[in-house]
Amino acid sequence: MSGDPKKPYEVGYGKPPVATRFQKGQSGNPSGKPKKVPRLLDPGKVLEAIDNEEISVTDNGKRKRMTKVEIQFRQLFVKAIRGDMKAARLIVKMATEYFVPEARGVPEYEFIGTTEAAQRFGRDWQDRIDELNAELGYPR
């Protein structure tokens, strides 16, 4: 029965009609199960989430809730106070970067010498200073 094309094909259980069968080389499930898309990992967000977690600590005999980043800063200050120069330098660097600009405010006038002006603006520092003063509306 299987090799002779003149004999009629018997259709039944497990024997679908030839016209409705899957074509050779074509899958029965063309779209298939989608592949798993890997989640993008953002280290900054993970670190921020960990640092912002609150935990209970005992401070001067009392239980307090603090974030992990606050505890890290407190420990850094304790190290600096006890003489750890690396920790002290780090605190000074952070303080100058984050606190000093706010404390200084915006000066109305800034007085610099000719050497500083030459370093900042180059050889034609006098022309550059005159341009800046004209832009800001300062008298010459």
Distance CA 94, CA 128 (A): 33
Beta strands in 1-140 (DSSP E): 54-59, 62-67
Q: How many CB atoms lie within 10 A of CB 114?
A: 9
Contact between residue 57 and residue 66 where contact means Cβ atoms under 8 Å apart: yes
- Given a contact cutoff of 8 angstroms between Cβ atoms, the answer to whether 126 and 140 are in contact is no
Phi-psi region of 109 (alpha: psi -120 to 50; beta: other; left: phi over 0): beta
Instruction: List, for residues 22-58, the tens digit of each pLDDT value.
Output: 888 887 788 888 888 888 888 888 888 998 999 999 9
> Looking up tokens 């600009």, which residue turns up?
101
* pLDDT digits 0-9 by tens, 6-18: 667 788 888 888 8
Rounded CA-CA distance 13/41 in Å is 51
Q: Taking a C-beta distance cutoff of 8 angstroms, is the pair 98, 83 a contact? A: no
Alpha-carbon distance 112 to 132, whole Å? Answer: 14
The predicted model scores a pTM of 0.44
- Is residue 87 within 8 Å of residue 102, measured between CB atoms? no
